[in-house]
Amino acid sequence: AKLKTKGYGATRPKIKCATPNACSEDEHFINRRVEIKILEI
């Protein structure tokens, strides 16, 4: 399989917060993630 990684950090959060401190710990937990796309098998 061919894999490609790309880091987005704070640019593409799942949950958008008004300010970084406005999110709860649970919301921050959801935003801290790794997503993997398989481009080719």
Rounded Cα gap, residues 11 and 17, in angstroms: 12
Beta strands 2-3 and 38-40: pairing type?
A: antiparallel
The total number of structural domains that make up the chain: 1
User: What mean pLDDT, rounded, does the chain reach?
Assistant: 82
Question: pLDDT-derived band of residue 34, with 50, 70 and 90 as boundaries?
Answer: confident
Helices (H), the chain: 25-31
pLDDT band at 24 (very low <50, low <70, confident <90, very high): very high
User: What is the extent of the structural domain holding 22?
Assistant: 2-40
**pTM for the complete prediction?**
0.56
CA distance 25 to 32: 10
20 pLDDT more than 80 = no
Q: Between residues 41 and 13, which one has the greater pLDDT?
A: 13
12 burial (CB, 10 Å; 0-12 / 13-18 / 19+) is exposed
How much is the pLDDT for 14?
A: 87
Q: Indicate the length of the chain as a whole number.
A: 41
